[in-house]
Structure 1
Amino acid sequence: MAASAKNSVLKIERSIPIVVLPEHETPEGSVFLTSLDQVAPAIVPTIYSFDRSDTSVVDVIKQALARVLVPYYPVAGRLAKNSLGKLVVDCQKKLGVPFVEAMADCDIENLGDKRLLDSDVLDKLVYRDPVEHILEVAPLLTAQVTKFRCGGFTLGIALNHCMADGVSAMNFMNAWAEIARGKPLSLVPCHDRTILKSRVPPQITGPYNEFVHISDVSNMTALYVEQLVYKSFHFDAEKLVTVKRMATKDEQVTSNCSSFVALAALVWRARSMALKMKLHQQLKLLLLVDFRSRLRAPLPNGYFGNAVAMPCCLCTMGELIEEPMSASAGRIKKAIKSVTDDYIRSRIDYLDMNRLEGLPVATLVISSWARLEYGNTDFGWGKPRFGIGGLPSSSCMFMSEGREKGIAVMLGLPLSAMDTFEKLICDLNDTQYTNIGIQT
């Protein structure tokens, strides 16, 4: 085995999947899904890596799964369509969670950077059910425990985004881990998603820039024929101070901002330049904002579902690069501030009648998992390292590297664009953000 799984093929042996059902009887009927839940019924793979285990690890995790599926019973169901053609979770059809045990032929350290996994490695560590494309029978969750020669193991899961956003997924995983450690649930899930039901009649205040059609006038589609390269970039405390100083240099625009806002401004500008967009190219920045505490009546702590808004910054490439970075940060702050109770309720109504159809290449979606407690998912063998893979080409993710260690920025770009992006992002200098590689 070579030093890294990135330049060699990870070999594993998988068991035949077994189906894990809730340990006790659970409610039947169906669970309502909001228009936010129905936006992206995509499968999200994630990896939890642990450096040690023992002979009981598979049985403990499997038994805890059966138990956690009692309070989180919708996860054992399947999607269905109601009489209006809307998705619901059929809880009477309890087909359970496919569970796989696997053995790897290497040490866990051979995986390399576990935060952002190579697609080949991810495919080996996360079980993807062969019927996942068939709506009515596809599992909403799969689980795979892979043991390594060194004694470490990974837990790979594939969760349907209809079921949970990042916060809800972390709550589920931490509940699963609590049960594995013999602890009572610290957070009881709330499955009443009608709290976020659309209104009748709808009360839409819009407009919503994320739905504005933009054309690829820069022919970036041709650029994306190149090999996609995924990388992570580390911003320690010192670099974050520099980025925030760049984002607040012109205090007439914005006098202060968070690390998220400053980094988002930097990444948006650098990525747009790296893709060599024309000056009249329209571009969008979508920001995933958790609105649980932004409603007039906040959601219950254990709300299990999607509670994320997606405010949008819309401008041309010319506008973006001709304004100071502080102005870009100002756009982002304004977009985040717009996520109010009225905005959320109106957007839910709008989504109930309109679909968000794909994302053009001039769109960047930034989400931050920096505050999520994925490091608490301790099944009894210590806290894990958390990893993802299969990021869409339009997505960028921020992940915490610990209170003192800063933030990791992860994204994918065509090879030539990644080279330019890396130069821009690693050499923090205000003066370089002027007409670099811009087409007229």
Structure 2
Amino acid sequence: MEASVQVISKEIIKPSSETPTHLRKLKLSYLDQLSSPTYVPIIFFYEADELRGLNSTNQIQISQQLKQSLSNTLTVFYPLAGRIDQDGSVIDCNDAGAEFIEARVQAQLNDALQEPIIEQLKHLAADATAGTLPGAALVAVKLTFFACGGMAIGVCVSHKLADCASVMTFLNAWAASCRGEAEFPRFSLDLANYFPAREFPDYHSPRGTNENKIVTKRFVFAKEKLEALKQAATSPSGSNVKNPTRVEVVSAFIWKHFIDVANSENRDAKKTFVAAHPVNLRGRTIPPLVLENIFGNCTMGAIAFFNASNGEFHDLVTQLRSAIKKVNEDYITKARTGDNFLNEFSKLVTLLMNGEIELCAFASWCGFPLYEVDYSWGKPISLCTSSGLPVSSCTLVNSRSGDGIEAIINMPQDNVEILESQIKLISSTPTQINSSTS
């Protein structure tokens, strides 16, 4: 998509009803405090149909419908219309509103998605780092109409207040409101009651230490490749992996590539490699309903370490599985008032800042129906996201068909090119997948 995106208008959308005085202050949990203040951008792409097209009147109606339904939704999700206070521990639910940007691009939607260049598609959402600015809106929406009548809806929500589960709760409610449905989902804003705020006087969210330019690219692991990866994880001699999940094998494959490339660049250095995989705490407590409808950053990072110079694929799957399983009922209970999670998090940040580890951050959105977000003009035909931080990372989402996984990778350019060649070579031969890329 070589055409530039032209911004037509910017405005602030406020809740349709004023937030009551007794709800004006929302305390953040310490899990929220530890989250990055950047936006989490998700861009949904919708095809033109007989209701839309080049008719400017239809586009005005679509824009107004989205704005009005957003206003109605913000009345229920009132913290998203607020602002973060100076010390970062409270949301001032002052109805300051969400940012709404309308834009046009002289390009065809199909052309933009044929061989998507994520670096260019990023312009269809607000700048991810804008969320770090003082007084920034917690929600920023960018509606872009293509020349063909198709459109992109780029939604950015501050990570300081919401994880993917919370963002999806908000998006589904907004889409339902836009379709004319009056019911809103039930959710709780009590996360701080379970994980009370802490004092972190010198804490700043880790920004990463990678000096190379980070680029973003999307790869699709079709059903056949997923089956090949599962076979490679279970069949070698010495493997104790049983019934690996799609997320486990894709994450391990990308982590293995990351390790192999790093070792090939500096064979003499003894490095510790770390994979961080956020775990959704909802449903992991006993009883499971305790945190089920919680809004906020109800996640903890599962941290997997690997010290070997050449990691076998099945070993990495094992390490990831063990780290994720560690975040269980007992671990969560201790983390509510204890320091077990905070100590591990602090250690990770210190090692990262001191350059003692090589970090690859993962996030799995595979459990969320992103391809079901329908504002009344049909379901998205494609979507993308990106990281606002200069670290190697990967976001996993279900493919549109549901039987594959899309991996949105953020890595240095050279790493991405090597990874692309390795993905093409995935076959049903386990030894090929387990072999080093160096």
Q: TM-score, normalised by structure 2?
A: 0.83
Which one-letter code corresponds to 1:21 in the other structure? K
Tell me: CA distance 1:130–1:229, structure 2 relative to 1, closer, same or farther (3 Å): closer
Q: Secondary structure at the match of 1:111?
A: helix
Is the aligned partner of 1:37 residue 2:32? yes
Using the alignment, how far apart are the partners of 2:114 and 2:260 within structure 1? 27
Which residue of 141, 144, 147 maps to 1:143? 141
Tell me: CA distance 1:130–1:373, structure 2 relative to 1, closer, same or farther (3 Å): closer
In the alignment, which residue of structure 2 is the partner of 1:421? 419
Which residue of 50, 62, 67 maps to 1:62? 67
Structure 1 segment 154-173 matched on structure 2, within 5 A: 154-173=152-171
Is the aligned partner of 1:379 residue 2:375? yes
Which residue of 311, 314, 324 maps to 2:305? 314
Q: Percent identity?
A: 24
In the alignment, which residue of structure 1 is the partner of 2:286? 296
Query: How big is the shift at 1:420?
Result: 2.6
Structure 2: stretches of 5+ with no match in the other structure: 53-57, 199-205
| Residue correspondences, number | 400
Which one-letter code corresponds to 1:258 in the other structure? T
Using the alignment, how far apart are the partners of 2:197 and 2:96 within structure 1? 33
Using the alignment, how far apart are the partners of 2:127 and 2:387 within structure 1? 13
1:382-409, Cα deviation, whole Å (9 max, x unpaired): 0113211346432111121145541122
Is the aligned partner of 1:331 residue 2:319? yes
In the alignment, is the contact (CA less than 8 A) between 2:40 and 2:157 conserved in 1?
yes
In the alignment, is the contact (CA less than 8 A) between 1:102 and 1:145 conserved in 2?
yes
Tell me: CA distance 1:42–1:317, structure 2 relative to 1, closer, same or farther (3 Å): farther
In the alignment, which residue of structure 1 is the partner of 2:203? none
Query: How big is the shift at 1:130?
Result: 9.8
Structure 1 segment 331-410 matched on structure 2, within 5 A: 331-347=319-335, 349-350=338-339, 357=349, 359=352, 362-384=358-380, 385-390=382-387, 392=389, 393-403=391-401, 405-410=403-408
Name the Cα RMSD after superposition: 2.8
In the alignment, which residue of structure 1 is the partner of 2:230? 244
Tell me: CA distance 1:255–1:61, structure 2 relative to 1, closer, same or farther (3 Å): same
Using the alignment, how far apart are the partners of 1:436 and 1:300 within structure 2? 42
Using the alignment, how far apart are the partners of 1:113 and 1:335 within structure 2? 37
Q: Secondary structure at the match of 2:85?
A: strand
In the alignment, is the contact (CA less than 8 A) between 2:41 and 2:128 conserved in 1?
no
In the alignment, which residue of structure 2 is the partner of 1:208? none
Tell me: CA distance 1:288–1:157, structure 2 relative to 1, closer, same or farther (3 Å): same
Structure 1 segment 28-177 matched on structure 2, within 5 A: 28=21, 29-39=24-34, 40-52=36-48, 53=52, 54-55=58-59, 56-81=61-86, 85-91=87-93, 93-112=94-113, 118-123=118-123, 125-128=124-127, 132-135=131-134, 137-177=135-175
Which residue of 245, 250, 260 maps to 1:263? 250
1:355-397, Cα deviation, whole Å (9 max, x unpaired): 5648567111111112211122111100113211346432111
In the alignment, which residue of structure 2 is the partner of 1:206? none
* Structure ranking higher in helix proportion: 2
Tell me: CA distance 1:102–1:426, structure 2 relative to 1, closer, same or farther (3 Å): same
Tell me: CA distance 1:185–1:375, structure 2 relative to 1, closer, same or farther (3 Å): farther
Query: How big is the shift at 1:285?
Result: 0.9
